[in-house]
Amino acid sequence: MDGTYIAEYVRTRTADTVRRSVERIEASRRDITATRKRRWHTVRGASTSDREVNHLRAQVQRFVNRHELPRVQASYNTAPKLCDACGRSIARGSPEYDIAFVTLTFVFDAECFGVWEEEMGPPKEASS
């Protein structure tokens, strides 16, 4: 199923879809910034230590590829699944981010997606 998905992605990957992906990433970034700030401080009812953040960042970096523009699909979770970076379950109704490179697809929760975006660097269109 993943193979079909990737083939479909490659076939339909035009400049236009890439541009729309970037726009979607930008929209997602705006959408989750508040969520991320709020959730960083409510995970397990305690503040997230720098050590935890660094650990998460290291896990997320395994999924960073600066040489390819990924396809990102943001949605709200409808079936239980685990975040591929931190391994925590994504609660029903919470935002989830399906990210696809040509040879790799994975799903992140909002927190890991935020870190991943930072590690990927700003979209080129975001220059001010």
Structure tokens at 52: 């935890």
Which residue from 32, 72, 74, 86 is in contact with Zn ion, where contact means CB under 5 A? Answer: 86
Q: Does residue 83 bind Zn ion (CB under 5 A)?
A: yes
Asked if 85 touches Zn ion (CB under 5 A), the answer is yes
Under 8 Å between Cβ of 95 and 32: yes
Does 60 help bind Zn ion (rule: CB under 5 A)? no
Our finding on whether 109 is near Zn ion (CB under 5 A) is yes
32 binds Zn ion (CB under 5 A): no
Nearer to Zn ion, 25 or 112 (CB): 112
Q: Are 100 and 9 in contact (CB under 8 A)?
A: yes
Start-to-end CA span in the chain (Å): 40
C-alpha span between 94 and 44 (Å, rounded): 16
Binding site for Zn ion (CB under 5 A): 83, 85-86, 109, 112
